[in-house]
Amino acid sequence: MQIQDLPYPDPGVPDARSGPRFLWWLFRNQLGGQLKSLAWGLLHFTSVAALPFCVGVAVQAVVDRSGTGLALAGGLLALACVGNAVGDTFLHRTAITNWITAAARVQQLLARKAAHLGSALTRRVAAGEVVAVSTGDVEKIGWFVEALSRFTAALVTIVLVCAGLLVYQPALGVVVAVGLPALALAVLPLLPRATRRADTQREKAGRATELASDTVAGLRVLRGIGGEELFLDRYRSASQEVRHAAVRSARMWSLISAIQVLLPGLLLIAVVWYGVRLAHEGRITVGELVAVYSSVMVLTYPLRHFEEIAMAYSFSRPSAKRAAGVLSLRRPTDTAGSRAAGVPSGDLYDPETGLLAPAGRLTAVVCGDPDTAGLLAERLGGHPSQEGASVLLGGVPLDELPLDSARTAVLVQDKDPVLLSGTLRDLLDVPASGTVRPDQALAAAQCDDVLTALVQGSLAATDPMDARITERGRSLSGGQRQRLALARSLITDPETLVLDEPTSAVDSHTEARIAQGVRELREGRTTVVFTSSPLLLDRADRVVFLHDGEAVAVGAHRELVRTEPRYRAVVTRETDDEAAPNGSVALNDVLHELEEIEEKA
């Protein structure tokens, strides 16, 4: 896999049982790139390690006044330099390719998991956690995956050099062969503590990211209640904890780096001292002493990769654990599409509550608990948050359909829809039947004032479709965001549309016009609206009242207001004490309000 070939046609099925298993799975899936990196790494490191021997041959040739030996040394030096340059160039190329492709694979896996889970993802994992995993963590995971092959090349080179020194000069070779493994293993006792400090730093950084994300998302509300400084103080405190944790982690790694500098220096001193004695006794030549001395100096370069692989693993392990935690999430009911792909049509029925939404009709659902309504809306779209009986569409269980087919058949707009940044044209560029035009959807959702506000807020746009929407639509009011999201859902024109409180943030007159617009535009299509607004309820073909998780009453809105006290209490916001004596008064007030709004709308 080359960088220009990204993204992967299929990133594969990850082993998300643990962080180390996930890292090993990534390594195995990039085996070709790892072998290339290993080969170029061996060429690079062995060429570097060969330089001292070439220098030793050259020094000895000068001492012996041998022109042939000097020419041979020059040729070997040139060959080693070419190997060093070529190996280093292509090692860097393959290593960066492995890094980027590993990070890209993880990002693809995370994106697919987010699309698979839908809105259930942020209920099970904090939004800040998802952001941290998909940004900083993928870089650290990619770092370890690419560093592993370079470390292997460095390890093989050190073994080969030690073996070569034992053959070339046994007396000094034994000192080097014993000293180098000691250098490589000297920092092992410090690694667990360094790893724990790195884990703590990553955990605190994730908390700070999550807090920042939540604060920015709720900034408008915080300003309204004067809570800005409170949350900023919390973020300052969290960021200071991250700083302290980073300093503690850096201290440990600086100690490891110092040891990696100190011990090779001590080994070099020992080799020089012992080598000078051997040369003075005539047991080795000057060229051999220079070769061994230079070899020890050069080997400090591949030894650094021992420290790097330790750092890479320490930082990538918690990142891989977090990524594996997200990738291991599963939908509560997922049969992996046991039925053939297809888009069924017909009545929408929920066996658990008894809710029935006839095909081609506008059905309003009244539920006293907003959280219960939200969970039911997601279940109607095939996204249940817990195991249970599957919703049926035309008698076909949605849980048994491939996910793409289920989402094509039923579209759910939750009560807090997200507007992505970009132009309005981009926002409305969604998979659609082509039957509903953007202007029709915008008119039905009563977006005239929203279009005007977008044009006024854009410097160069004269066409509202070219006006830019800020991230999550933060420059718009709650009602404006809600109406744009409704227009986007209407353009999609699914066979079945489920709307959860689509007009909770708009005024009553606009709500009445939206109710009429949605009814007209969705004529002949199945529409389910979760609401307690009398204006929407009065426009529905049928109203289903849910109490304690069961459908207990079905009928027209005005009929249910007259005959069902529990329904009237939810719609009119009556308390238990007010319901009995004032039931008829509340009914008259509701009917009178409906008539006034209908006349003005």
Question: What's the pLDDT at 598?
Answer: 54
Of the candidate ranges 111-115, 118-122, 161-165, 521-525, the one whose mean pLDDT is the lowest: 118-122
Of the candidate ranges 12-21, 139-148, 411-420, the one whose mean pLDDT is the lowest: 411-420
Percent of the chain with pLDDT over 70: 89
Structure confidence by residue, pLDDT tens digits, 192-215: 888 788 778 877 877 787 777 666
Structure confidence by residue, pLDDT tens digits, 292-309: 777 777 777 787 888 788
The residue length of the chain stands at: 601
Contact 280, 33 (CB under 8 A): no
Encoded tokens for 249: 């982690």
Average pLDDT across the chain, whole number = 82
Q: Which residue in 501, 489, 563, 492 sits closest to 365, CA to CA?
A: 501
What are the b/e assignments for 278-313, b being 16+ CB within 10 Å? beeeeebbebbbbbbbbbbebbbebbebbbebbbbb
Phi, psi for 410 (deg, rounded to 5):
-130, 125
Beta pairing class for 422-423 and 468-469: antiparallel
Contact 503, 446 (CB under 8 A): no
Query: Directed axis angle between helix 478-492 and helix 448-457, to 10°?
Result: 110
Contact 70, 40 (CB under 8 A): no
Contact 166, 144 (CB under 8 A): no
Question: What's the pLDDT at 136?
Answer: 78
Residue 581 has pLDDT above 50, yes or no: no
Residue 583 has pLDDT above 60, yes or no: no
Q: Which amino acid is at 373?
A: A
Better pLDDT: 415 or 568:
568
Q: CA quadruple 50, 56, 57, 62: dihedral positive or negative?
A: positive
Question: What's the pLDDT at 484?
Answer: 92
Number of C-beta neighbours around residue 230 at 10 A: 12
- DSSP of 497-552, one letter per residue? EEEESTTTTS-HHHHHHHHHHHHHHTTTSEEEEE---HHHHHHSSEEEEEETTEEE
Residue 554 has pLDDT above 90, yes or no: yes
What are the b/e assignments for 505-536, b being 16+ CB within 10 Å? bbebebbbbbbbbbbebbeebbbbbbbbbbbb
- DSSP of 314-330, one letter per residue? HHHHHHHHHHHHHHT--
Q: How far is CA 544 from CA 364, 496, 560, in A?
A: 6, 17, 9
Question: What's the pLDDT at 167?
Answer: 82
Question: What's the pLDDT at 580?
Answer: 46
Encoded tokens for 53: 């021997």
Contact 24, 15 (CB under 8 A): yes
